[in-house]
Structure 1
Amino acid sequence: MPKVVIDSKTFHYAAGVPQGNCNHAIIFVHGAGGNHKHWAYQTTELGQKFLTIAVDLPGHGISEGEPCREIKDYSSFLYDFTERTLGTGFILAGHSMGGAIAMDFALRFPNKLSGLILIGTGARLRVAPAILETFKAGQLFPEFINFAYSDTTNPELLRQAELEMENTAPSIYYSDFLACDSFNYIEQIKNIMTPTLVIGADADRLTPPKYSQYLADNIPNSQLQIISQAGHMMMLEKPHQINTSIEKFATDLVSVISG
Structure 2
Amino acid sequence: MVFLHGLGGRTSNWTYQRQYFALKQRVICLELPGHGESEGQDVPFAAYRDVLAALLDHLDIEAADLCGLSKGARVGLDLAAQMPTRVRRLVVVNAFANLEPSERLERAKLYALLGQPDGRQLWADRLIALMGVQDHPTIARGFRRAALQLDAVHIQRVFSELIEYDQRAVLPKILASTLLVRGMRDGFVPEHCVEEMHRLIPHSSVLLLQNTGHLPYLEQPGMFNQHLATFLDK
Q: TM (normalized to structure 1)?
A: 0.80
* Separation of aligned partners in 1, 2:200 and 2:15: 30
Aligned position for 2:112: 133
| Residue 86 of structure 2 corresponds to residue 80 of structure 1 | no
- Are residue 247 (structure 1) and residue 229 (structure 2) matched? yes
Deviation per CA, 1:98-145: give whole Å up to 9, x if none.
111111111111111111111110111546221343335585222222
Distance 2:232 2:169 in 1: 27
Report how far residue 148 of structure 1 moved.
2.3
Residue identity over aligned pairs, in percent, reads: 22
Answering whether residue 218 of structure 2 is matched by residue 236 of structure 1, we say yes
Q: Which runs of 4+ in 1 moved over 4 A?
A: 136-139
Q: Which runs of 5+ in 2 are unaligned?
A: none
Structure 1's 137 and 109: CA in aligned 2 closer, same or farther, altered over 3 A?
farther
Q: For 1:231-254, what per-residue CA distance to the aligned partner results, in whole angstroms no more than 9, with x for missing partners? A: 1112111212221111111111xx
- Residue number in structure 1 paired with 2:83: 109
CA deviations 1:17-36 (Å, max 9, x no partner) are xxxxxxxxx11111111111
Q: Which runs of 5+ in 1 are unaligned?
A: 1-25, 253-259
- Verify the 8 A CA contact 1:58 1:66 in the aligned structure 2: yes
Determine the structure 2 residue equivalent to 1:144.
Answer: 127
Q: Which has the higher helix share?
A: 2
SS of match in other structure, 1:88: coil
Aligned to 1:17: none
What corresponds to 1:49 in structure 2?
24
Name the structure 2 match of 1:99.
Answer: 73
SS at match of 2:22: helix
Q: Which residue of 1 aligns with 2:161?
A: 179
Q: Give the aligned partner of residue 59 of structure 1.
A: 34
Q: What's the CA shift for 1:213?
A: 2.4
Q: Is the contact between residue 182 and residue 208 of structure 2 (CA under 8 Å) also seen in structure 1?
A: yes
* SS of 1:220 mapped into structure 2: coil
CA RMSD of aligned residues (A): 1.9
**One-letter amino acid of the counterpart of residue 15, structure 2:** A
Q: Is the 8 A contact 1:204 1:230 kept in 2?
A: yes
**C-alpha distance in 1 between matches for 2:109 and 2:203:** 37
* Structure with greater strand percent: 1
| Paired residues of 2:108 and 2:160 also in contact (CA < 8 A) | no
2:184 corresponds to which of 172, 185, 202 = 202
More deviation, 83-92/127-136: 127-136
2:92 maps to a residue whose letter is L
CA–CA separation in structure 2 for the residues paired with 1:182 and 1:94: 19
- Tell me whether 1:119 sits opposite 2:93 in the alignment: yes
Residue aligned with 1:193, SS: coil
Amino acid aligned to 1:190: P
